[in-house]
Structure 1
Amino acid sequence: MLGKRAERFFEIAINQDEDYKFLAGNLQIIHEKQTLGEFDFFLKEKASNQIFHVELVYKFYVYDPDFENELDCWIGPNRKDSLIRKIKRLKEHQLPLLFREESSDSLKKFQLNPESIQQKVCFKANLFIPKRFQHQTFLHINNDCIVGFWIHSNEFTKAEYGSFQFYSPKKKNWPIEPEQNQTWKNFDEINSEIEYLFQHKKAALLWMKKDTQTFERFFVVWW
């Protein structure tokens, strides 16, 4: 759901951009009743007439230091996804799809020639690191993508967090800045929501309001 919302925002942005023309989006490749994949976007740069195939990625990852290599440490907050897995799928499936024979008929409908198309990946990520790592710099990612921290459930204590206000947004609203929120709950109220999510093995993304000017985002994970 997050990815689809991001795609719609991307399409709106391109349609308002004077430098690019939107040619096609969400182009599915179906062969013998089997869906082989989908192209996110085809764009044309107006100045050069260069056509681009753009794959858009929008992800939330937490850093699990238990893995040996830094890039392996970036995983989904529910441990069902990972940065490495996504990169592998892009390299081995999504980008090569442009040159598969089964894609040719669909591309011809839009007068798209794979040999003259450049491929790009727009990878947007919201990264959350362990609270004790908040002052650490990471070598292999864009550190500007770090937007918050994460903690285990036993670290979310009333002694440390009881004086603040919270809100746990639905997943479709995860990208929103917490400053925009108007409804806030106390520690006990939000703890009940966390427990409900944990019963379904879902991490809780929390917006925390410390005062009228100070807001933070963090995950409380169930694992």
Structure 2
Amino acid sequence: MKTPSLWKGDFLGLNSFELAENSTKKLLPENIQLPENLVLGKRAERFFAEAISQTNSYEIIAENIQIIHEKQTLGEFDFFLKETHCEQIFHVELVYKFYVYDPSIENELNRWIGPNRKDSLVRKINHLKNHQLPLLFREESLASLKELKLSPKKIEQKVCFKANLFVPKKLQHSSFSYINQNCIVGFWLHLNEFSAEEYAGFQFYSPKKKDWSIEPTNHHEWKNYTEINKEINYLFQHKKAALLWMKKDEHTFERFFVVWW
């Protein structure tokens, strides 16, 4: 809930879905049941659904509706919501991403990439515009929509795009085009920049990906510089960047990636 949206309003033809900060009736419960192996994106969907259920503004009509045609999965609708005061129906796609900014890439928008270089903001935007949102108007979707008593012509499409952005350490105080600056939550380094001289005095933890969205302040078991380097090297052997939480003192925490490339 605290993760900012990457943009507000319209962005490259995608309309942002926003929940007002004071829209939930109460705090989200701490005992939400989640399967241990649930991946980050699916975890985000469960929290989103819980947040919607706490509001007076929307109700969930359906979620995670797969469209299967001739034994082939064509895609999935994340959420269909009804706005309670006017009964407008929304198709909402939820995106929860971690990107790093690579200034060596030529085009500004292309510079936001996944920490392992397998993903990018532009790729996700194109997938939303060319596949996920058009699925609503495909003939193969009509039967599922009819079952839900929904008409594609009366549905408004929106994207809830939550992002955690990491920039090179030297660019931490820079401004960036296109994106919400509040999404910048940390920095990234190459391994040779993660030096004992600068970092040996602090404590660290490297969460599993499904836990990347957790606040470092909620963590209690920490490792020293030597111990965390062993974990970084293990991840590097599998070409995986390491997200680190760094505890500088009892009240100061930072988040950053050490990348393998």
Global fold match (TM > 0.5):
yes
Q: Is residue 79 of structure 2 the alignment partner of residue 48 of structure 1?
A: no
- Where do 5+ consecutive residues of structure 2 fail to align? 1-38
For residue 182 of structure 2, what is the aligned residue in structure 1?
144
Could you say what secondary structure the match of 2:187 adopts? strand
Q: What letter matches 1:193 in structure 2?
A: E
Paired with 1:137 and 1:4, the residues of 2 have a C-alpha distance of: 31
For residue 188 of structure 1, what is the aligned residue in structure 2?
226
Within-5 A mapping of 1:1-223: 1-223=39-261
Determine which structure has the larger helix proportion and give its number.
1
Paired with 2:209 and 2:134, the residues of 1 have a C-alpha distance of: 30
For the aligned residues, what is the CA RMSD?
A: 0.5
Q: Structure 1 length normalisation: TM-score?
A: 0.99
Paired with 1:37 and 1:147, the residues of 2 have a C-alpha distance of: 31
Paired with 2:100 and 2:40, the residues of 1 have a C-alpha distance of: 16
Give, in angstroms, the shift of residue 116 of structure 1: 0.2
- Where do 5+ consecutive residues of structure 1 fail to align? none
Give, in angstroms, the shift of residue 69 of structure 1: 1.4
Could you say what secondary structure the match of 2:177 adopts? coil
Can you list the C-alpha shifts for 1:28-72, whole angstroms capped at 9, x where unaligned? 000011000000000000100100000000000000011111110
Could you say what secondary structure the match of 1:104 adopts? helix
Give, in angstroms, the shift of residue 170 of structure 1: 0.7
Can you list the C-alpha shifts for 1:158-188, whole angstroms capped at 9, x where unaligned? 0010000000001111001101100001000
Q: What letter matches 1:169 in structure 2?
A: P
Can you list the C-alpha shifts for 1:13-33, whole angstroms capped at 9, x where unaligned? 111111111100000000011
Paired with 1:143 and 1:165, the residues of 2 have a C-alpha distance of: 27
Q: Structure 2 length normalisation: TM-score?
A: 0.85
Give, in angstroms, the shift of residue 110 of structure 1: 0.6
Structure with bigger RCO (C-alpha 8 Å, 6+ apart): 2
Give, in angstroms, the shift of residue 144 of structure 1: 0.2
Paired with 2:257 and 2:59, the residues of 1 have a C-alpha distance of: 38
- The aligned length equals 223
